[in-house]
Amino acid sequence: MKNKAGTPSQSRLDASAEVALSQAELTELAGRIKAWGEELGFQQLGICDTDLAEHEKHLENWLSLGRHGSMGYMERHGKRRSRPADLVPGTLRVISARMDYLSGEAQAAADLLHETESALISRYALGRDYHKVLRKRLQKLASRIEAEAGPFGYRVFVDSAPVLEKALAEKAGLGWIGKHSNLLNRKDGSWFFLGEIYTDLPLPVDTPAANHCGNCVRCIEACPTGAITAPYQVDARRCISYLTIELKGAIPEELRPLMGNRIFGCDDCQMVCPWNRFANFSSEDDFRPRPGLDAETLLRLFGWSEEEFLERTAGSAIRRSGYEGWLRNIAVALGNVRLDEAADPRGVIDALERRKNNASVLVREHVDWALKQHEKN
The catalytic residue positions are 159
Judged by DSSP in three states, 177 sits in strand
d(CA 31, CA 192): 22
Q: From the CA atom positions of the chain, what is the Rg in Å?
A: 22
Contact 362, 337 (CB under 8 A): no
Residue 325 vs residues 246, 257, 293, 350, 363: alpha-carbon distances, Å? 9, 17, 16, 20, 8
Contact 262, 343 (CB under 8 A): no
The letter for the amino acid at 371 is: L
- Taking alpha carbons only, the member of 130, 286, 241, 142 closest to residue 200 is 142
d(CA 142, CA 146): 6
- Taking alpha carbons only, the member of 158, 3, 182 closest to residue 96 is 158
d(CA 173, CA 185): 9
d(CA 376, CA 352): 15
Q: Which residues pair with 11 in a beta bridge?
A: 155
Q: Which residues pair with 10 in a beta bridge?
A: 156
**Per-residue DSSP letter, 204:** P
